[in-house]
Amino acid sequence: MAKKVIPLILAGGKGARFWPLSRDKYPKQFLKINGKECLLEKTYKRAKLLGAKTPPYIVAPKEQLPLVMAHCGSDIKANQVITEPIAKNTAAAIYWSCLKIHKAEGDCILTVFPADHEISDHEKFLETISTAVSVADKTRSIVVIGVKPRYIATGFGYVERGKKIEEGDLRYYKVRRFVEKPHREKARRYLKKGTYDWNSGIFIIPLPEILNLFELHLPELTKAFNTVKIAIDTENEEKLLSEAFEKVESISFDVGILEKTKEISLVETTFPWDDVGTYNSLNSILDDDEDNNITSGNIILQDTHNSVIIGDNDLISVIGVRDLVIVQDHGVLLICPRKRVEEIKTMVESLTDKNKQFL
């Protein structure tokens, strides 16, 4: 990659932690689902493969700084971790990161990776990102990575491909539209039609262009950061940053920028990919048993089939069930059918005040 490429990893969500329910908002260690490496570690090592002279940056909640430093190896420096004083969704996190990176690195091409992805084919990953960087540099616009669907999935967002562009060795598409997580019948139609990809959440864009898009589509957010811009790397940065985050709207990058931007390109890939944000996707990193059960923890099963059972320290015994998700995590017990696992997020959002301590 001839252009200056800077990786940015979004570590503020499930990628660091994974569990959707827990009393401990910031744990003592990140969850190692397969017993070896947490997803953040894997994403960090994968981003380093891009060969960028500058190591990957990571944006994470301030409270997670020691964990990020501990999990990403001895080569990571504190200035590579861009901290958020409070969580205000991905738009604020990405904009603040862009300001910091622009101050440190100048103009570059930014590659943004969520930390909760499992990508096993590193050669295909590098090939895809290299193509996307070239397209982003040529078009001076956002390039998203679309993953060719392998099955009917209701837990992923989709992106519809438009016109195919072939210029020299470059092959890419114009994006027609983004679609939120569909119900099963709609997802089935998308798969059959063949013009829809899973939206990987990975995107690439020249840094000056993304700053311009924020100014265009989220002017109130950028206005809130006006005083922070001139205070970066000064003693006033922390105070002014906290004030800015208090002011801004909590909005996702997808809603605030992607869905409002007309010119977006897509590079399609076939690398094995899973957004490990739901329990049904765990089979991408955990082996199932002869009865198609996925387990982690101290688990005893009898006559149990096609289920996901996850525990922390306590023994979980399960008899005579199928197609269930059972999760026990720091005093919180979750039980639901696998086919309804996508409803967990809605349930969490509806918790009454007396149960907020379990978030």
Neighbouring C-beta atoms of residue 200, cutoff 10 Å: 24
User: Mapping DSSP to helix (H, G, I), strand (E, B) and coil, where does residue 313 land?
Assistant: coil
DSSP assignment letter at 322: B
CA pair distance 161, 171, nearest whole angstrom:
12
- pLDDT tens-digit profile of 246-273? 999 999 999 999 999 999 999 999 888 8
Helix spans in 23-88 (H): 39-48, 65-71
- At 152, give phi and psi (nearest 5°): -70, 120
**Total count of residues recorded for the chain:** 359
Give the residues of the chain that fall short of pLDDT 50.
1, 14-28, 359
Predicted local confidence at residue 64, as pLDDT: 84
pLDDT for 277 equals: 54
Residue 10, pLDDT score: 93
Q: Where is 239: in which H helix or E strand?
A: helix 237-247
Q: What is the pTM of this model?
A: 0.81
Tell me the sheet residues that pair with 81: 58
Please check whether residue 98 is in contact with residue 211, taking contact to mean a CB–CB distance below 8 angstroms.
yes
Whether 37 contacts 58, CB under 8 Å: no
pLDDT reported for residue 18: 41
